[in-house]
Every structure is written in C-alpha cells, then in structure tokens.
Structure 1
C-alpha cells in the first residue's frame, strides 16, 4: 500500500496500515485487471477496494489453494474459522488476521451490509461440494454470493449520483458479468479443480457435456461442440454486461473511469477467447498488455477530467 493512499484515506493506525498493505499486495499479485482499474480511483478510496479484494482472495485460497493434501473437511473448517473471525471483527472485537482486520474497518467506514460477506462465504462453501450446475438458474443462485454481492460491496465505496438502491441491480449484474467472463476463460483450470461452471443445459443445447470437456482437456484435442457452447456462453455473458451498463452513469463521476476500464477490459477477455478459437479448455486467454495500457491511459484522462470538474463544482458552491 502506498503511503499516499493510506494517508489520503486517513488510515493512521500502524496495525491497520499493515493490514491494508497486505490486501493491496494480494490485489496486485492476483487481480491483474482489477488492480489496474483500482489505480484509477481517487487515492482515498483505493484501500477499501483492496480490502474487499483481499478478503475475497483469502476465502478463495482456502477453497482452492490450501495445499494438495488439505481435505474438504479441513477446508470447510478453515472457512468457518474465517467467518467466525470476520463476525468477531464486525462486532468490534480485536483480530490479528490482516485481511479480516482491513475488511472490518472498510465495512464500518462505508456502512457495508455484513450480510453481503456472509452470502459470499455461503457460495465459497458450495465450491467445496458442488462440482457442476444443471441450469443457468442454478448457476445464478451460486453467483449471487460469489459475484453479485461483490458489486454490492463495492457500491458504497464508489459512490453514486442516484439513490444507492437504484444503482444496486446494475452493480450486482456487473459482478455477475465479470464472473461469467472468468468461467468462459477458465474452463480448463476449473476442470483441473474438478468443477464445471458452464451450465449443463447450455452445454447440452450444443451437444457438449462434462465428459467431452474432460476428454478435450486430457487429450488436447478440440471439438466444435465445445466451441459452440463457449460462444453461446459468451453471448449470454454479453447480455449481462448490457444489464450492467446503465449503472456506469449512476456512479460518482470520479469512480466511473475505474469501473469503466474494468467493464471494457473484462469484456475484451471474451474477445480474446474468441480470437483464440474458443480454446479455453486448453489455454487461458488474455487481453494484450498494450491494450490494457491503452485502456488505463484513457482512464487516466477521464479521471483528470472528472477531478477537475469536481473541483470546479466545489469552488462554485
């Protein structure tokens, strides 16, 4: 965490500064697109976004990266322990785990509904037991906790120019769109973890199924039915981006460049998967670095314009 960001956010307690710095490190290391977009926020709001990401990453690590020898029961117990520490921190009890401490401070500072964190952990626990989804509706129920609530957690930090409840459905939709994008991109990696997030009914509509995905992953061979299913999943995801799009104009002008950049870059991941021939069973597609830099540069220009406008309005008031 840069000293400038911490100072701008008014975070002076040494322990809290360490906690937020840990969350920022996780965001920078694992959330490439997310971190790049966060850099477009005003400095005083960045620590809160890092805290939200850091906690989500900690839970995700328990589910997927606790170690090859960890059992489902051990992972479940670790998630329960994380939730207990979070509940204690939200109630005002002292905690030592950095990402929990930073999250509790952020939740208090921005009055974020604690139920959003609990709903998130419900979906994380589902990943320990559920390995596929029969229908898109089933998947949407899972994504409420794993994705929609992330958008809702972010909304108080970003700020809105309309009543928050008006922007909330669009923020939730954007969280879902981002996660669906990840599902389209990460089919092979998810298979390696024993999961298929593409709904079985969507796969079946194109003649595909779980065993076909596993065969393709194992052999390295492609199948047009998989490509057709992925194209359909991408089209479905584009529809969710369209649901989310009206919410961009509802955000505080100084926050719009951040979310606008994420909106563009995540959407272009779908373009990258298409350019790679719908081969995400075998490889992880990415937006070229030069393109990410161009979007970030455009975002910086919009940030500057938004801040100048905000300063002028403040001076005129």
Structure 2
C-alpha cells in the first residue's frame, strides 16, 4: 500500500476516487503481469502509475473475452465491450467514465497525450477474439497483433519518453509489443486451444504437416510431436528476428526508462529461451523465467537507473 501511495504522490495524482482507480490497475498488473510488473519497478515512481493504468485496462478487457463468467455468450460479451467502448469514448472526450479502469486509462491518456486511435485498435482486436479462431498466414496474424500488442508498445512510449523524435522510436516500440505477443502465443498454445483459438499461422503449420487436430492431440496427450516441434522452432526463429528488430529502439528511450524496457525484453526473451531448452514442449508445463533469474536480470537495471537519475540532477 505504501508503494502505491508514494507512486501516486510522485505522479501528482490527486483525488480519492482517481487514486483508488489507479491502485486497482496496479493490483491487476502485480497479480497478472509478473514479468512486466517487475520491469516496471525499475521505472521512476512518477511514471509507474501510467504503465499500471495501461496494463490494467488491457488485462481487464482481455479477461472479459478470455475468462467470461460461466454461461455468458459471445454476444453478451460483445454487448459488454460496447459499454466499455462507450465509456472510453466519453472519458477520452473529457466526460466522466463509470468504470474504474477506464477512468485511470483516460487520465493517463490525457497526461501523456496518447492518441485515442490506439485504444480503438485494441478494442477491435479484443472483439476479433469473439469470432476469429485462426489465422491463415503471418501477415493476417500480424494485422491482429497490431491491435492486441503493437499498440500497447505505442501507448507506453510517451510514458517512457525518448531521446530521439518519437516518430523514429515508434516502429521499434510496436515491434517489441509484437515480439512479446509472439512469445505468449508460443508459450500458451495449449491454453489458447482450450478457448478454441490458434494464434499460429496456418500456412507455417501446414508446411510441417501440422493442423488443428494434431495440436489438439498434443494438448490431450500432453506430448510433443516431431512435426509440431519443427513448426514451433520455425516460429520461435521468427520471434527472435522480431526481438532483434525491436532491440535498437531501447537506445532511443530516455535514460531513466531504458533499463525498464531492456529488463522486460531480456525477461520475455528468457521465456523463449526456456521453450527452446524444453525442445519446444509447450504441452506438459507453462514456461516462465525462474524467480532467481528475474532478480539477476533486474539488479543491474536498477543500478543503471540510479546512475541515470544522479546524472539527471
């Protein structure tokens, strides 16, 4: 609780209701986004609430779609999303939102001049999850990932700050969001199949003799198949290429924010490392970076932040 208070004070967020809204978003972030949350701890306190608000809103909406209440139909979920979007439009235009995550998000968008189109694209991607169950090829999947992941990088960029013109840094921020999402897709194949979705390009799978039925067989038996392994290896290589394209963008960030993103990149790429070490077995367990390794990655980042803060004085 003290951490929340000091962050909100540092950010100049006043008003009891708004402070509660931000605290709720921070709790969502801490509970569900452990890798991102640890990286956020490296940020200056004044910038953390905005990241919590952005993540909290995204997680809240994503859970509406992925973890619906028992018996709720996709049509009912779509109606709920309609209400969220209307609330969001109201808040972004200066009105009073009814939902706490929306209020925190709108306040962050106003403080950092984040374009509303990014949130519109995100909501469109969440709607797609109600009806789309697969993607024919990588360009089609990439179109979905623009709204589900690339725009998250674009939303966060104004909060982090840049030493280069923001327009130059934006492609790298978008690529990093995409890289994180691809790692999620590889790690969570089994969970996504349970929701009826496959976020792996069908043409890449077919090139290795893999279809949805084979993936479902692996999920049922919790056992790897050589054809699936080869397909996942190809997609992991694609994922690594996206990380490589995104990495130069770290140097464009403000010095106090740079270690945060470098930490997130190293930790998330570490999940990909774990998948590869397990020979692409994503069926018998959910891969994550060990706590001790997370601490080793975060420690030098904290030192870098302290040096950057002293240099800025």
TM-score, scaled relative to structure 1 = 0.97
Aligned with 1:114 (options 100, 116, 122) = 116
Once the 2 structures are TM-superposed, how far is the Cα of residue 209 of structure 1 from its aligned partner?
1.4
Residue 315 of structure 1: aligned partner:
none
Aligned with 2:48 (options 23, 32, 46) = 46
SS class of match (2:280): coil
Once the 2 structures are TM-superposed, how far is the Cα of residue 205 of structure 1 from its aligned partner?
1.6
Residue 154 of structure 1: aligned partner:
156
Gaps of 5+ in 2: none
Once the 2 structures are TM-superposed, how far is the Cα of residue 61 of structure 1 from its aligned partner?
1.1
Instruction: Output one character per residue of 1:194-247: Cα deviation in whole Å (capped at 9) or x when no partner.
Output: 110011011112221111000111122321111111111110000101110110
Instruction: Output one character per residue of 1:76-122: Cα deviation in whole Å (capped at 9) or x when no partner.
Output: 11111111100011111112311000000000000000000000000
Alignment of 1:79-118 (within 5 A): 79-118=81-120
Residue 55 of structure 1: aligned partner:
57
User: Does the 8 A contact of 1:213 with 1:281 survive in 2?
Assistant: no
C-alpha distance in structure 2 between counterparts of 1:140 and 1:39, whole Å: 30
Instruction: Output one character per residue of 1:137-175: Cα deviation in whole Å (capped at 9) or x when no partner.
Output: 100000010011000000100000011000000000000
Residue 226 of structure 1: aligned partner:
228
Aligned with 1:172 (options 171, 174, 197) = 174
- Root mean square deviation of aligned Cα: 0.9
The count of residues paired between Structure 1 and Structure 2 equals: 311
User: Does the 8 A contact of 2:222 with 2:284 survive in 1?
Assistant: yes
Residue 74 of structure 1: aligned partner:
76
User: Does the 8 A contact of 1:131 with 1:196 survive in 2?
Assistant: yes
Aligned with 2:137 (options 132, 135, 150) = 135
User: Does the 8 A contact of 2:87 with 2:98 survive in 1?
Assistant: no
C-alpha distance in structure 1 between counterparts of 2:77 and 2:51, whole Å: 26
**Given the alignment of the two structures, is residue 190 of structure 1 paired with residue 217 of structure 2, yes or no?**
no
**Given the alignment of the two structures, is residue 34 of structure 1 paired with residue 7 of structure 2, yes or no?**
no
User: Does the 8 A contact of 1:188 with 1:283 survive in 2?
Assistant: no
**Given the alignment of the two structures, is residue 10 of structure 1 paired with residue 12 of structure 2, yes or no?**
yes
TM-score, scaled relative to structure 2 = 0.98
C-alpha distance in structure 2 between counterparts of 1:42 and 1:238, whole Å: 29
Gaps of 5+ in 1: 312-317
Residue 314 of structure 1: aligned partner:
none
